[in-house]
Structure 1
């Protein structure tokens, strides 16, 4: 069995969002687009699950993803200094909250990686 890869799956979710929701002509440059995506996707259930509190809408699936990525959970807790909060979620079996937190933690990186695939298309849209 292969472990769930948060970043890989999030990059695909971000790409899908860009394809369906973004008009490159509305953004002056990639930095503006990146900032807008970060703001919008922070609460986009199809990417982070942060609006509803769940990406998977299934506690068991969230538990599986989290359990397969304990190193990532640890990295997130260290960087965001949220060990107590995550420990409480773990005790309460609130794996969806942990799952969403991981997705928010990785959001910027996922956006950057996804945008790499759209650089050429973005530049063509902005040719004079």
Structure 2
């Protein structure tokens, strides 16, 4: 079984979100590094179910799929729990909660990586 890559998935979802949801002006400000625009988009990404599942509590809307995503990623979940200083039992919270939590943890890093990639593309053109 191939281990699910949260980083790859979240970055892909962010790229799709930027393509589908941002108008040309907002996208331009984002690429130019406008701090207010970056912060606004970051907040939208964090709350969007298609990126993190944070709004509803589930990205997959399917416990089995969330469990499959977690296979081989328990160390990442442990890192997230430690970083957020969470003192809860992830088993009691469920796979969908754990899956969404990991996505919330990674969204800032993934967004920064996507912005770097987009900025490089824009400077090459």
**TM-score w.r.t. structure 1 length?**
0.83
Query: Which is further off, 18-27 or 103-112?
Result: 18-27
Pairwise CA distance, 1:67: 3.0
Partner of 1:39: 43
Partner of 2:14: 14
Pairwise CA distance, 1:2: 1.3
Query: Which is further off, 48-57 or 24-33?
Result: 24-33
> Does residue 110 of structure 1 match 2:114?
no
Two-structure CA RMSD over aligned residues (Å) = 2.0
Structure 2 gaps of 5+ residues are: none
Distance 1:12 1:114 in 2: 9
Distance 2:21 2:79 in 1: 31
Q: How does 1:1-128 map to 2 (within 5 A)?
A: 1-26=1-26, 27=29, 29-30=32-33, 31-82=35-86, 84-85=87-88, 87=89, 89-91=90-92, 94-119=94-119
- 1:94-123, CA deviations, whole angstroms, 9 ceiling, x for partnerless residues? 110111111000010110111123215666
Residues 3 and 71 in structure 2, CA contact (< 8 A), matched pair in contact too: no
**What is the aligned length?**
120
Distance 1:25 1:58 in 2: 36
Distance 1:24 1:120 in 2: 18
- SS of the residue corresponding to residue 47 of structure 2 reads coil
Structure 1 gaps of 5+ residues are: none
